[in-house]
Structure 1
Amino acid sequence: MAPTLVNAALGALLAAALLGAAFDRRSVAIVVGAAIAPDLDAVVSLAVPGATNALFHNVWIPLGFAALLYWDVTHRKRSWLRRRYGAYGVRVAWVALAAFAVAGIAPELFGLAGANLLYPVHDAYYLVQGRLLFSTQEGVVQTFLALDSEGPGILPLYSPGTTETYFVPTWVNPEPGPGTTPDAERELYFVRTGWQAVVVAAATCLLAVRFLEDALRGGRRRNADDHTAGGEP
């Protein structure tokens, strides 16, 4: 399971890249919160066996919210979200939804643990592993799609098991089944690999720069307003 800090860092990168004029402390907090929300199923696993990477790591949640959001902002006569929060709210909602799916679910699907994408309709964890490279001997080599006479197909998608046969250990619940023994060993990973540390560092630096730019821009606007007000007769 990808460390929650990495999910938060990926969410922060999406916030900095996609929020645009809606970028502020509150919107960043909402987007980062959406990125780490799927990991809450690890807490639920204390009472519901097999909930980790299944209960909140499925496609139904983001698809459902996307359909609801699209209907509200495009098909209602008066959008509730736009009426209450304006264009700011609409932008933040879409970015938060992207963070939930891309920063919250995708790292598990393309990582080491897998995600139960169709749960509870179909109980099976899925894991995608592949590579794309250029070889001077073989040319472009990719293992994500099988392109042959039988038609395209996804090669690296396989299932390590179901909620009954496959367990994803977490710091919250390191043992299979509901509850846990008091002396169970817990390991809280902040990062597991060097590239994850780079992602966290990059997200931290990017947010710091964006917040600094916004603060300087706000200071310049206030100075301009003061200068204009002072020049009036």
Structure 2
Amino acid sequence: MRLLRHMMVLALVPAAVLLASPARGGDDGRATVVAVQPLPSLDADGVRTTLAEAQFAPDGVRFGVERLQVVYRTIDARRRPTIASGLLALPRNDARQLRVVGYAHGTELNRTDAPSMGRDGWAVGPALTFASAGFAVVAPDYLGLGLGPGPHPFLDVTTEASASLDLLRAARTVAASRQRELGREVYLTGFSQGATAATALGGTLERGADPWFRLGALAPISGA
């Protein structure tokens, strides 16, 4: 029932936040943007308050943050088409070209605690930290979390990498619709389950899976 409610909300997303001509990540439709839902933006003071409440240090905050929930097409563990969601966080500044941080979250038990849902400070705090310092941040929910259907395939490294890569591609499309360009190099980090996911995505980028994005740096923490 909870998933049904989420999908009903998605169906009611105003037309203004849907991309009229969704970009395709390839002939299979991967990375096609299905919908973009703006989440409440924060000014710099709001970011500091949110980080402090989640017990993150707010010392590096320079900018406010625009947050966007991105729903996009990807593949499941059997390589069948599915959808997933993730968070794109952009600094509220005048920069048109942005360096990119990919943050992979640790284990979450509820789909509503995924980064794009904006409810769990632990999952959102790192994205706010990097975005408020001037980076574009891409934070996947993984399959089956956030607005993604079905159960979450816990520690399925292959889909953690594919869902993360497809979100990167979708995020580039969304950023371009806001006249902002995501840089080629991606700085990847993640905690616990996310450390494994970030390492998997790093290997995928190193092998040249995408013609635009490439691995800039990798800093996994406490890998599962």
TM bracket (short chain): under 0.3
Larger radius of gyration: 1
Q: Relative contact order, CA 8 A, sep 6+: which one is greater?
A: 1
Could you tell me the TM-score, scaled by structure 2's length?
Answer: 0.23
